Chain A
Amino acid sequence: MALPLSSFVIGIFFGLGLAVSEMINPARVIGFLDVAGRWDPTLMFVMGGALAITLPGYALILRRRQPLFNGEFFLPTKRDIDRQLILGAALFGIGWGLGGFCPGPALASLASGSPAVFLFVLAMIAGQWLASRYAG
């Protein structure tokens, strides 16, 4: 039970972070992307605040032979900057700019009960499913 229990508690921290930073509000995200309008730098401070912890944190943690509750670290193995990576990131960026939601904030804002957010999340899951078929 250690894995699901720790995941649940860590998920709460992550969700708190998204709410405190107001990243669950698409107006904030669009404000950051709107560099030609009234630019809102908040998102940059969110990434900065997160990286200030994860940059040293990851380096320290990855010195360990294994995590606390699991047999091994599950790290990405791909190394190439290939067409799929760039095309995928570009499509994601367009969707992000259209709605102001990326996956974390979209899932977290399900808590609001907003039908529009629910629609977005359903479409997102469908998009992932389509890509898993397309990418084989």
Chain B
Amino acid sequence: MVEANLLGGLIGGALIGIAASLLLLMNGRIAGISGILGGIFGPIGGADRFWRVAFVVGLICGAAIYSFASGGFKIELQASNLTLIVAGLLVGFGTKLGSGCTSGHGVCGLARRSPRSLAATSTFIAFGVLTVFVARNVF
């Protein structure tokens, strides 16, 4: 178990907030990652697809830059490959059906004071907590 990283959380969170604000200011888009990703594979035109791909490539580069600068990636996997596939299917299906994820609902939607985003954020955090509780304490 790792110690809490509150300062890193605040600084990283502020960077995410700045990025989300800039995307709205410059491109008029909500920084919901599931929506940006879904659009890449959706039935849309090339120009709309291009900015989404550029964003995702930037996202990967940003994580790479920090991890190389700080001496490597710290990714401690919490599940087997099979569980990760099930988890991925649920995350993809759920974020598409529920119109958003942690960034779209949790950061951007709450900033717009959207009741839908508040309902969604409360729901996915509650079910995340429940899932971890069941996985850690029941099985």
Residues of A within 8 A of B (CB): 2-28, 30-31, 33-38, 40-55, 57-58, 61-62, 64, 66-76, 78-81, 84-104, 106-112, 114-117, 119-132, 134-135
Contact = CB atoms under 8 A, between A and B. Distances in A.
Contacts of B20: 14, 50, 53-54, 57
Interface residues of B, number: 111
Contacts of B4: 40-42
A73 to B, nearest CB: 4
B44 interface: no
Interface in B82-122: 83-99, 101-103, 105-112, 114-116, 119-121
A10 B75 contact: no
Contacts of A103: 33-34, 37, 91-92, 95, 101-103
Interface in B1-43: 1-2, 4-6, 8-31, 33-34, 37-38, 41-42
Contacts of B71: none
B101 to A, nearest CB: 5
B136 A76 contact: no
A91 B101 contact: no
A97 to B, nearest CB: 3
B17 A19 contact: no
A46 B16 contact: yes
B32 to A, nearest CB: 8
Contacts of B50: 3-4
Contact of A89 (B73, B79, B84, B105): B105
